[in-house]
Structure 1
């Protein structure tokens, strides 16, 4: 859709297989959708080719705006990769060839003169879900191939852009637990992620289990499926309770492809949170995520508007 008069923000959500771009107008009350584009990365993972494709798609999107990038107040970028303070990729399993790539400097070259802020995609999903829920203090846990998440305090990311991400998936909750991808044992990710739960289900069943088989078994009340999912939910609940002792969130939100795809998963997490919460302390309510697969993009735009535009009031 062409935009006849324009002042606003650009959001970029860089994923391992695809990228989402969205331009929003500045209404003064938070962003309103204006234009959007999504594309997939080529399969070979060549950094130079990837950046060239990203630059081309950005030019295409911005060409639909009068004045191109001149009307942008700022850009928010959601990153799944581990980056240093300068925006150089340290590690990224989704695109291993990107290690050592100066990603944020490359984005600055694509968008000269436009202010830019970036953060972890899980943190930005937390920011978006907090606003969708109307809460200023939220812990978000995204359960998929890994476990990501973030903490929002007083309507803003904690600890904040440039200070690292909240690696909730790497909280150690069981020192005798399985080895995590990070090399340690007992991380939430190694216990609660989709692959970890499927491995546990296969061990209990004595046969391979895929996601469809797990959810089918769960609906049928098969003990192996129920026990595998309950163990996952219990591990996630330990993370919620631990974070709650420090940050006092008003809500825990469970998202991610696995977290929203398993029937009743958030309710199971909530039950374990109630069981594990210290006596005399109100348990943190747990709810399923309200936004879809583009929550990180929503968060990137919200972060840009908070950083470079009119202050968006934090919800109560």
Structure 2
């Protein structure tokens, strides 16, 4: 059976897996960066998993990235600026095709491939990762829509509040300045939240689940920003499904319920009312499945 190597390059950890053409993870490794050289970590994963031979490599990576040049500059990996990721992998695995996309795009593709609603691979979806940052990826009419540079679907940098806070990307009032985990925590602390433990998104979600007013308000505020971005994307791309993953999304209905309420309050046009919002079903392996699907797309083998 043909197998491919899937690689998930995150800001704090790297993961990789050997995946069969039928979508079965055969072997998997995960390594935290934690002060290590990212290139050395990547080489360790590739050497450990691809030694038996793989037919192709698919990579989902934190961005921004440039698929044309094959370079990445992940915000949380300062050692990698315009790092030639695909070229480096090709050097280590000569004659093996390498395909790259954004990490959230791979989450979207993984959900479409391995967790289709009703067993259908038709339709369109937006995959979102809500975590330290907010990323997104699109599958349109059953195909990943990556864009010219590979950054299509970057929903975290849609402006939802033109008079809002400055974003590290250089714009103002991006979704990420309101709905990312750190942004929610900052807003809650500034508005009187007094955590009895670590002041992080998990603690904030716990307090929201218990009904602490400022924590509930932080999630409602984030949900409103996300709903605005989702409806904007749906209006432009006519998507009918949104899948949300990432650390903050692990809060479940604490985040999903207010998003659904906000959507219902604002979906004025009939076609927007088709939009369904769901939690990811693939957990932390969603990006690996998507990276594998990218790699399989370079092969003439059955999915």
1:99 match: secondary structure: coil
What residue in structure 1 maps to residue 211 of structure 2? 221
Of 82, 85, 110, which aligns to 2:92?
110
2:79 match: secondary structure: helix
Structure 1 CA distance for aligned equivalents of residues 242 and 43 of structure 2: 37
Deviation digits for residues 102-151 of structure 1 (CA, Å, limit 9, x no counterpart): 22111110110001100000111011122313353101221111111111
What residue in structure 2 maps to residue 56 of structure 1? 44
**Superposed counterparts of 1:1-316, under 5 Å:** 6-26=1-21, 30-41=22-33, 43-44=35-36, 46=37, 50-63=38-51, 65=52, 69=53, 72-84=54-66, 85-89=68-72, 91-131=73-113, 132-134=115-117, 136-160=123-147, 162-205=149-192, 207=194, 209-261=199-251, 263-283=253-273, 284-310=275-301, 312=303
Aligned residues: 293
Does structure 1 retain, via aligned residues, the 8 Å contact 2:71–2:86? yes
RMSD: 2.1
Which structure 1 segments of 5+ residues have no match? 1-5
What residue in structure 2 maps to residue 3 of structure 1? none
Which structure 2 segments of 5+ residues have no match? none
Task: Judge which range, 228-237 or 7-16, deviates more.
Answer: 7-16
Structure 1 CA distance for aligned equivalents of residues 63 and 6 of structure 2: 17
Structure 1 CA distance for aligned equivalents of residues 146 and 257 of structure 2: 28
- TM-superposed deviation, 1:311: 5.4
1:186 match: secondary structure: coil
Task: Judge which range, 200-209 or 240-249, deviates more.
Answer: 200-209
Does structure 1 retain, via aligned residues, the 8 Å contact 2:31–2:41? no
Structure 1 CA distance for aligned equivalents of residues 207 and 107 of structure 2: 30
Structure 2 CA distance for aligned equivalents of residues 213 and 40 of structure 1: 22
2:56 match: secondary structure: strand
Query: Residues 265 and 75 of structure 1: is their aligned pair in 2 closer, same or farther, counting only changes over 3 Å?
Result: same
- TM-superposed deviation, 1:259: 1.5
Structure 1 CA distance for aligned equivalents of residues 34 and 178 of structure 2: 32
